[in-house]
Chain A
Amino acid sequence: MNTLEFFSLVAMLVVAAASGLVGAFALMRRMTLAADAMSHVALPGLGAAMLIGINPLIGGAIALFLGAVLVWRLELKTKIATETIVGVVFSTSLAVGALLSPDHELLELLFGGETLFTWGEAIVGMVTGLVIIGLILSLKERFAISFLSADLAAVTGIRREFLEFLFLMFFVITVLLGLNFLGVLLMGSLIIVPAATAKNVAKSFKGDLFASALISSLSVLVGWLIANRFAFEIGPSIIAVAAVFFFVSLLFRD
């Protein structure tokens, strides 16, 4: 393993830990389905960017940002909207994205596959991942109150609308960081599946956050090892491992 391979793996593990934390709060916010599907929104952006020949991640970032703002605005107005957005907009964006994306790139855009990052990708992944982890941990109480009850947040002096927006931005950035190795379909799963596993085994708030980040990183590590050993695709290997952890955790659920 050379230095770049090593730091690529470290970047993946850091991104996975951030994704575990984002997922824990996404579940607390009851957006399991939306969180899993929101990453799909990146595809038309990635495809369109490739068509016009700019960095795909810029297109993906714009598309995800618009998707997040859509969720944020509509949730403030009505309750049923989120489900509708997930069912209609997010799924349609997969179809539109697939039409826009070049055929030979489509599989990688959907399922990831990059195991060797550029130095730039590795450094951005590690630094941004760590910043997101730090910010989420420092805001964890505020996030939790906001997601548990809007009324309790209001009376505790928490600016809930702003926090909701901030959370969705963390979500979007985390998805972007994971796109190269997991793709638009599987990155949503890395956010949700380890968090769901942690919820089954954790008994406290801190335990839940810690377990979610740990299980997420462990899924990436084991998935990476399996993919290397058996020459499997990295993305599907990681999510398969995460799924195994989830089913095992069901045995511990009260």
Chain B
Amino acid sequence: MEVTIRDRVILHDISFSVKRGDFAAIIGPNGAGKTTLFRALIGSIPHGGTVVWAKDARIGYVPQHVDLDRHLALTLQDFLQLKSRVLNLPDTAVNDVAQMLHIDEGKLKLPLSSLSAGELQRGLIAFALIGNPNVLLFDEPTANLDAPGEEHIYQTLHKLQNERDMTILFISHDLNLVTRYADTVICVSSSLFCAGPPKETLTPEVVDKLYGSLPFEHIHAKK
């Protein structure tokens, strides 16, 4: 795959495959094009090359954030129902997902714009899970959650992966989480691209090359 936005090459010569049921982590420095990779995978932006999904793939996507109008008249329940109705699902689909993610009734009735960042993120995860997807793409799924919230999301994801043979691709900055949960790790960067099981792929040299040395070390070295 290759992605060019306004004459700037964002992703170049990217190629990988993820097996059904895998928990695959996408890592890489800021601005390396991880989110762009996801947006190309879901067909939201044009790209070169080909993306091949399994024939029965139903994709759910959790964006890092959605830029919302502060006075939008849309409750969390309205928001989730948008998707259940487009997919012709009964309204109970919304309640099922809310229950799974421990979103209580009261929260469902609140306007989207009044939710905290963490609650909104949980809402976006719920949106992704409506329609029973078998592939989930998470762009830093727990960036805005507190530690217990983060733990709960990862446990839920893990449960989903095991119980429903779900394939999960997630972007993360937390290399501890990546080594703990991921079956496959995919590194995205302009200077290096790798894919494979975390233990073999994430050697100290690779991590060093991927993220580069920390900038303040250079400053000290110069002084």
Interface centre among A28, A148, A206 (most CB of B within 10 A): A148
Compute how far the CA of A27 lies from the CA of B63 in the bound complex, rounded to whole angstroms: 22
**Cβ of B103 under 8 Å from chain A:** no
The DSSP consensus for interface residues of chain A is helix
* 1/0 contact string of A135-179 vs chain B (CB within 8 Å): 000000110110011111111111000000000000000000000
What chain B residues lie within 8 Å of A28 (beta carbons)? 69, 72
| B71, A199: Cβ atoms closer than 8 Å | yes
Which of A30, A154, A206, A253 meets B44, CB within 8 Å?
A: A154
**In the complex, how many residues of chain B place their beta carbon closer than 8 angstroms to a beta carbon of chain A?**
28
Shortest distance between the CB of A76 and any CB in chain B (Å): 11
Task: Please give, as numbers and ranges, the residues of chain B lying within 8 Å of A104 by CB-CB distance.
Answer: none
Residues in B with CB closer than 8 Å to A204 are 73-75, 78
A141 CA to B84 CA, complexed, in Å: 9
Q: Given the complex, which residues of A lie within 8 Å of B72, measured CB to CB?
A: 28, 199
A144 touches B44 (CB 8 A): no
Q: Does A207 contact B (CB under 8 A)?
A: yes
Known interface pairs A141-B81, A151-B42, A155-B44; A203-B75 also in contact (CB < 8 Å): yes
User: In the complex, what's the smallest C-beta–C-beta distance from A195 to chain B, in angstroms?
Assistant: 10
Q: Which residue of B lies closest to A27 (CB)?
A: B69
A208 in the interface (beta carbon within 8 A) = yes
A-B contact pairs, 6 of them (CB 8 A): A141-B81, A141-B86, A142-B86, A151-B61, A155-B137, A205-B73
Specify which chain A residues have a CB less than 8 angstroms from the CB of B39 in the assembled complex. 151, 154
Chain A nearest CB from B72 CB (Å) reads 7
Residues from chain A with Cβ under 8 Å of B85 in the complex: 141
A156 adjacent to B87 (CB under 8 Å): yes
Chain A interface residue number, banded: 20 to 34
Check if A123 is an interface residue, CB within 8 A of chain B: no
A203–B73 contact, CB under 8 A?
A: yes
Q: Does A237 contact B (CB under 8 A)?
A: no
Verify if B23 is at the interface (C-beta below 8 Å from A).
no
Is there contact, CB below 8 Å, between B59 and A158? no
User: Is there contact, CB below 8 Å, between A145 and B86?
Assistant: yes
Name the residue on B nearest A209 (C-beta).
B73
CA separation between A208 and B66, bound complex, in Å? 20
A95: min CB distance to chain B, Å: 32
What 11 additional pairs, Cβ within 8 angstroms, besides A151-B42, A155-B42? A141-B81, A141-B83, A144-B74, A148-B68, A148-B74, A152-B61, A154-B39, A155-B43, A202-B73, A204-B74, A204-B75
Residues in A whose Cβ lies below 8 Å from that of B111: 203
Which residues of A lie under 8 Å from residue B71 when comparing CB positions? 199-200, 253-254
Residues of B within 8 A of A (CB): 39, 42-44, 59-61, 63, 66, 68-69, 71-75, 78-79, 81-83, 85-87, 111, 127-128, 137
- B75/A156 in contact, CB under 8 A: no
Chain A: residues with CB nearer than 8 A to chain B?
A: 27-28, 30, 141-142, 144-145, 148-158, 198-200, 202-208, 253-254
Nearest CB of chain A from residue B86's CB, rounded to whole Å? 5
Q: In the bound complex, how far is the Cα of B81 from the Cα of A148, in angstroms?
A: 14
Q: In the A-B complex, list the 10 residue pairs whose CB atoms are closest, starting with the nearest.
A: A154-B44, A208-B73, A205-B78, A202-B73, A155-B61, A141-B82, A155-B42, A141-B85, A151-B44, A149-B66
Measured between C-beta atoms, what is the minimum distance from A68 to chain B in Å? Answer: 22
CA distance A153 to B59 in the complex (A): 12
Complex Cα spacing A71 to B85, Å: 29
Tell me the minimal C-beta distance from A100 to chain B in angstroms: 37
List chain A residues, Cβ under 8 A from B74: 144, 148, 204-205, 208
Within the complex, the shortest CB–CB distance from B176 to chain A, in Å, comes to 28
Distance of A141 Cα from B127 Cα, bound (Å): 13
A162 to B138, CA, bound (A): 27
Chain B residues whose CB sits within 8 angstroms of the CB of A153 once the complex forms: 44
**B102–chain A nearest beta-carbon distance, Å:** 22
Residues of B with C-beta under 8 A to A148: 66, 68, 74, 79
**Distance to closest chain B CB from A73 (angstroms):** 15
Measured between alpha carbons, how far is A158 from B86 in the docked complex, in Å? Answer: 9
Residues on B with C-beta less than 8 A from A27 are: 69
The CA of A38 and the CA of B166, in the complex, are separated in Å by 47
CA distance A223 to B47 in the complex (A): 52
Identify the interface centre among B73, B79, B81, B128: most chain A CB within 10 Å of its CB: B73
